[in-house]
Amino acid sequence: MRRDEGTLHSAIGTLSTNRMVKRRPSPVDSKAGPLTDGPTARALLAWYDRHRRTLPWRAKPGDIPDPYRVWLSEIMLQQTTVTAVKPYFEKFLTLFPDVFALAAAPTEAVMSAWAGLGYYSRARNLHACAKAIVEVHGGIFPETPDALRALPGIGEYTSAAIASIAFNRVATVVDGNVERVISRLYAIEEPLPGSKPQIKALTTALVPEDRPGDFAQAMMDLGATLCSPKSPSCILCPFSGSCAAQKRGDAEIFPRKTPKKEGQLRRGAAFVLLREDGAILVRTRPDKGLLGGMTEVPGTEWSASFKAKDVTTLAPIEAEWTKLRGHVRHVFTHFPLELTIYAARCSKRKSAPQGARFVSLDALDQEALPSVMKKAITFALENFPQ
């Protein structure tokens, strides 16, 4: 029998909200001088109360946050923008309105709903985490960072964010926005990622015990709006007058970053086979590895040493393969990819080879197609002669 998740969450949230602990002393940075803890935190929260963003996963003022929404949004927002996440979040809530529905869903349905959002290991971990919460915790989210970190796909940042925002636990939440704000507040010269421990320590000292969840969200909102990467609106900032970088007049240069090495270009080929009844040949990638469990058109391995000679011998079936002019380009986190597209047609009586299947073009939106595969199929449809 399903538990009354909302009632239990409300009780937990109320107990968490009532925790009050004595404040810690103000942070002091030897290079930039001290900032006062109380007034600085209060100024930020006063700004947040007036200017907080309205987000589909964020509880309204006075409401108890829903841990399921908080968790889902935090996983989706990793390496992704709020604008990109909103439609996916709303779709997920429609398909999987609570953790029980998500845990019970087929893996294919979860991957399909995630398709296009990227970093697909997050979707696999999301599904595994939902199952663990249901099977191990009876559908109730743990509220401490340590207990949350024991769940699949939840690391140090995500556990702190969920504990803080959903349960008002005192935890240090540091994302890219917070790194930028703190780096500017103290004019931290050491580049990222080396400065992460210092940033975390300074953030920890600023977190107020009475409203840690609001403080975490306020820091995120500040970094996403006023304390933007290129053109910060320092005059409107609640930290105005207390920010070392503002006083120096060079806020834009923070945070300092160590230049990233660009990944080596990889190449490969993709085979787009169109059946005369309007179906296309696809297969599912192995569960582990890049794009694990996602749908793809058959293709070769991707490597820096890829050679296009005799590549059609690797095609899924014998057919009159046409090499299309141009390439499909896609950039992953660690490397850019360039795909050569080969296209062919076959009779509707043609059977799919082992490990593959034909899917109608109309049904492709129900498949877990990553962006690179959508590009390959679109490229073939637009460039393959009728």
Residues with catalytic function? 74
Give φ, ψ of 275 to 5 degrees. Answer: -85, 150
Measured CA to CA, the distance from residue 123 to residue 120 in angstroms comes to 5
Contact criterion met (CB below 8 Å) for 300 and 269: yes
Residue 249, phi-psi category: left (phi > 0), alpha (psi -120 to 50), beta (remainder)? left
Nearest to 239 by CA among 224, 231, 247: 247
Nearest to 265 by CA among 231, 323, 326, 306: 306
Measured CA to CA, the distance from residue 302 to residue 339 in angstroms comes to 8
CA distances (Å), 155 to each of 56, 158, 234, 322, in order?
A: 23, 5, 32, 46
Nearest to 121 by CA among 111, 109, 134: 111
Measured CA to CA, the distance from residue 93 to residue 350 in angstroms comes to 39
Q: What token pair was written down for 185?
A: 């507040």
- CB atoms < 10 A from the CB of 381, how many? 13
User: Reduced to 3 states, what is the DSSP secondary structure of residue 268?
Assistant: strand
Place of tokens 């660690």: 334
Q: What token pair was written down for 169?
A: 């636990």
